[in-house]
Structure 1
Amino acid sequence: MTEPVIELHEVSRRYDDGRTALRQASLTVCRGEAVAVLGPSGSGKSTLLHLIAGLDRPDAGTVTVDGVRVDRLDETGSALYRRSKIGMVFQFFHLVDDLTVAENLVLPARLAGTGRAEAKRRAAELLENLGIGRHTRAYPGRLSGGERQRVAVARALMNRPPLLLADEPTGALDSAAGQEVSRLLQDLNADGQTLVVVTHDLALARACTNRTVRIGDGRITEDTAAQDPAAEAVR
């Protein structure tokens, strides 16, 4: 059996007002999988992502990522965990506008203790591999939305995380740029990157993941591998 990267066991989380965000959710994601998490707003999918990322802590259950008990980490431990184990891609990029593209990538590597020369080499390699090497010295505000998201993906990969989390990665993009990012995520997974994508976009889920987890009212209601397109058309 392939080694698990994510193991959630009977995880529950309540909002501060007492409402339940997640109910006894159990989920295993193995190394090399690409999983889409689908569900309407308020269903619990963002809570699930935050628990995996160590941005939130469950009220019950356990969260283990790449051998780390994330639910037991304090604030400092959570920050170190995210720096070494998790790459995160957001809807609105969150790039530093007054840093160049290369500087945006070098920053997380330097924070993780990577030497300046090695960080610059890694940044140049990633930007070239992701097709935006010509923008190394540009500032994010001069790039298109699709290019900025590519920079964000490159930044997320700087410290070679075993897990890449993407939260609505095409939500702020037009359809053409969205398709570019979808192909990029598909290529990364084909190269072995474990990927979890939280999205409302069914087309994105079908294009770049091979497994779908649906959440409703805080519960995992469906967990299925991708189907053959012909079989799905008949359904």
Structure 2
Amino acid sequence: MSNHPRRPGAAVIQIRDVTKTYDTGTPALDGLDLDVRRGEALAVLGPSGSGKSSLLNMIAGLDKPTSGSVTVDEVRVDSLGEAALAKYRRARIGMIFQFFNLLDDLTVLDNVLLPARLARMPRAAGRERAAELLARLGIGEHARAFPGRLSGGQRQRVAVARALMNRPPLLLADEPTGALDSAAADDVRRLLTGLNADGQTMVLVTHDTALAEACATRTIELTDGRISKAAAR
């Protein structure tokens, strides 16, 4: 969560008239306007090439719009330089990936501690926070294990713990159930639903309609870089 108070329901993400054009000339995003409010779980659906990944990359500051503005947690992300973007991601964004992106030569605990070390969190406070998250997510007994010894569902729980380490106002998930079997995917759906119930704001890019139905408070569908369908639950 954010380190400073915010009005309940205030917009955490404000995307205004965002267009992104690559070398092909066809816009990946085409004049997109979108607000995501505090406490929402927004699921972004759409076919491959619809602009889902481009949208997530804009919010994360991994890419910049060709035109328009992206504001997250009161920060104009599209105007930041590289050093400021790195600081922004450490402080305000937690990211969960389809293929976990864990470091196999580090233990579960050390993987979870990485964001704290990058943010220069005091060592004792970091270890306390990591232990709390691992226990909360039901994988505390695996703290000293290496990721390769864990199941896919357990590795995704480690990735979620790492993403939450610095208490980010916003959690971004890119196909978080895409690499999991059905039982593990159900487990991650329940986990994300519980996090949102506790107040975590999140944006989920997914092809998994079961994830959207279970977890999302609102769903949008992108087609050719525009919102073609929107529904609240």
- If the length of structure 1 is used for normalisation, what is the TM-score? 0.95
Equivalents in 2 of 1:36, 1:160: separation in Å?
A: 21
Residue from 128, 136, 160 that aligns with 1:153 = 160
Cα deviation code 1:22-67 (max 9, x no counterpart): 0000000000000100000000010000000000000111100000
Aligned residue in 2 for 1:172 = 179
Task: Structure 2: state its 5+ residue gaps.
Answer: 1-7
Tell me, yes or no, if structure 1 residue 114 matches structure 2 residue 121: yes
Aligned residue in 1 for 2:210 = 203
Tell me, yes or no, if structure 1 residue 143 matches structure 2 residue 150: yes
Tell me, yes or no, if structure 1 residue 182 matches structure 2 residue 189: yes
Cα deviation code 1:91-121 (max 9, x no counterpart): 0000000000000011110110101111111
Aligned residue in 1 for 2:200 = 193
Aligned residue in 1 for 2:36 = 29
Cα deviation code 1:153-202 (max 9, x no counterpart): 00000000000000000000000000000000000000000011000111
Percentage of identical aligned residues: 65
Aligned residue in 2 for 1:85 = 92
Equivalents in 2 of 1:193, 1:16: separation in Å?
A: 36
Tell me, yes or no, if structure 1 residue 3 matches structure 2 residue 10: yes
Residue from 124, 128, 132 that aligns with 1:125 = 132
Q: Over the residues paired in the alignment, what is the CA RMSD in angstroms?
A: 0.8
Tell me, yes or no, if structure 1 residue 48 matches structure 2 residue 63: no
Equivalents in 2 of 1:85, 1:15: separation in Å?
A: 27
Per the TM alignment, residue 148 of structure 1 is displaced from its structure 2 partner at its CA by: 0.1
Structure 1 counterpart SS, 2:187: helix
Equivalents in 2 of 1:16, 1:123: separation in Å?
A: 42
Per the TM alignment, residue 75 of structure 1 is displaced from its structure 2 partner at its CA by: 1.1
Q: Residues 209-224 of structure 1 correspond to what in structure 2 (within 5 A)?
A: 209-224=216-231
Amino acid at match of 1:153: V
Per the TM alignment, residue 139 of structure 1 is displaced from its structure 2 partner at its CA by: 0.3
Equivalents in 2 of 1:18, 1:42: separation in Å?
A: 13
Per the TM alignment, residue 16 of structure 1 is displaced from its structure 2 partner at its CA by: 2.4
Structure 2 counterpart SS, 1:161: coil
